[in-house]
Chain A
Amino acid sequence: MSHEKEEVIMEAKHVTRRFLSSDKEVFTACSDVSLTLYKGKTLGIAGESGCGKSTFLRMLTLLDTPDKGEILYRGQDITKLKGEKRRQIRQHIQMVFQDPSASFHPKMKVRDIICEPLLNFKRISPKEKEEAARKLLEMVELPEDFSGRYPHSMSGGQKQRVAIARAIALEPEVIVMDEATSALDVSVQKNMIELIVRLQKEKQTAIVFVAHDLALVQSFAHEIAVMRQGEIVEKLPAEKLVSDAKHPYTRMLLESGFSLSGSPEIVS
């Protein structure tokens, strides 16, 4: 895929993050990671548990700070920002987590959950809340009367739709999704992917989607980065994943998935 005509939204340059483990050893969770996000495109990141995917996402969303390297949002290094400036950047980068029941306040109603970011950034007045909630629910294909519900009375797929509604409320330029569909059934997952793809087309959002299932990532990402032990081992266009993947680790990941027609080679 050539990126010449595409607009760069975010850029991670040589990002490194180290942690000190309990026995004073240095553990490198992300090592020299460089990735670019383009307007209206999805970057998929795949890798095993513990490969550093989530650490990288935490830095993208300003929940953590890299030890080395920089993260540019529209050319500005956001890792150095502090206070109000840092807060203002957050409205452009929103996220959806794996387990929506863990990320919602159990005592908040759906309308308060999805309108909280709008109120925090003073995009709407409290009076406009009901109307804003109705519009957002419509976008994620949930019935209007959900706005008065509590998270516990919804299914996993419905909760994840609410999480997406909250993430798109501020019309961010980047949405980061960390295993956003892993907790869902395959048919619900399929609906969710269709929703995400439709919203991306409408809003031209850049999406980072992290998952360990390569088949899932390649079904709707434009570009795929494979991560292992904190490093990006391979980066390639999603449509060429199966044909062009060269790195032995990518091949191994490709072969480890179970499909209905064939079984993984490392099993036999």
Chain B
Amino acid sequence: MLEIKDLCVSYGEKTVVNHFHLKLEQGRVCTIAGESGSGKTTVIRAVFGLLAAGGRVTAGDILFEGKSLLSGSKEEWGKLRGMGMSMIFQDTGAMLNPIRTIGSQFVEYIRIHERMPKKQAWEKAVSMLRRMQLPDSERVMKSYVFQLSGGMRQRVGIAMAMTFQPKLLLADEPTSALDTVTQAEIVRQMKDLRKENTSILMVTHNLGVAAFMSDEIILMKDGKITDRGDKEHLLKSENAYTGKLLDAVPVLGGKRYVS
């Protein structure tokens, strides 16, 4: 349902993504992992049509359900985002307006995409928050961003992204700002989304999270794909960069630097 063919993206003169290709089936999870500056975020920003200023696709194509996304008009994008695909950012708090309540923004978001009375939109929002296991969801609706913890904010982000049951969910480091306990809960909830047949394209530098969630993991370095495959493949991979990355992940009861 999502196909990226030979994608190249440049910022000015600098090529940041080099011949990236990917096929994602319905209900599958693919993770792009790599270090800062490897171009992983640029890939999903290109899919969502949100390249930062100066960025442009120089070669290749992105097909969503067989249709190229690169030629989409503003109206087509407006329909697609939210309904067809949606995105979760590293910090939902930074995405939302700090001086408006969660509820007023959530209701506005719903009513942009679907004609319905405010009261009904409010109820829909509350039920979405409840599904993300946010306790006291009426109170969350009346809160401002700063009143919520990091984990709660991310749950609000997922609830908003999942409102219209999009076919594709893009997630840019959705758990990197969270501590390990909260991270485990959010990851579990994202994994549950597969039951609703949502495909997920995620970017993370946490290889443990990638291994737990994904059908396929793509490792990137300097804009190029260095290795790809499932968890077992990566653990056995003979690629030098893959080995270096795996070795750097701290493991409980693993290597110790002091005695």
**Interface residue ranges, A against B (CB under 8 Å):** 42, 48-50, 155-156, 185-190, 193-194, 197, 200, 212-216, 218-222, 238-239, 241-242, 252-254, 256-261, 263-264, 266-267
Contacts and interface: CB of A to CB of B under 8 A. Distances in A.
Main secondary structure of the interface of B (DSSP, over half): helix
Interface centre among A185, A189, A261, A266 (most CB of B within 10 A): A185
Contacts of A241: 252-253
Q: Do most interface residues of chain A lie in helix, strand or loop, or is the interface mixed?
A: helix
Nearest to A41: B258
Interface in B226-259: 231, 234-235, 244-259
A136 to B, nearest CB: 22
Nearest to B181: A256
A48 B257 contact: no
Contacts of A253: 180-181
Interface of B: 35-37, 149-150, 178-185, 187-188, 191, 205-209, 211-212, 231, 234-235, 244-259
A93 B206 CA distance: 32
A48 B182 contact: yes
Contacts of A266: 181, 184-185
Given A49-B150, A50-B149, A156-B36, A254 B252 contact: yes
A185 B183 CA distance: 17
Contact of B35 (A42, A185, A212, A260): A185
B257 A197 contact: yes
A215 B245 CA distance: 16
Minimum-distance CB pairs A-B, first 6:
A258-B208, A212-B179, A190-B248, A185-B35, A215-B250, A186-B248
B254 A215 contact: yes
A219 B256 contact: yes
Contacts of B206: 258
A220 B256 contact: yes
A200 B257 CA distance: 11
B256 A259 contact: no
7 contacts: A155-B37, A185-B205, A187-B244, A214-B252, A252-B181, A256-B184, A257-B180
Given A48-B182, A49-B150, A213-B180, A187 B245 contact: yes
Contacts of B179: 48-49, 212
A258 B33 CA distance: 15
Contacts of A220: 256-258
B36 A185 contact: yes
Contact of A258 (B187, B253, B254): B187
A93 to B, nearest CB: 21
A105 B200 CA distance: 40
A212 B257 CA distance: 18
A218 B36 contact: no
B252 A258 contact: no
Contacts of B185: 266
Given A49-B179, A185-B36, A212-B180, A222 B208 contact: no
Given A197-B257, A263-B212, A214 B180 contact: yes
Nearest to B191: A267
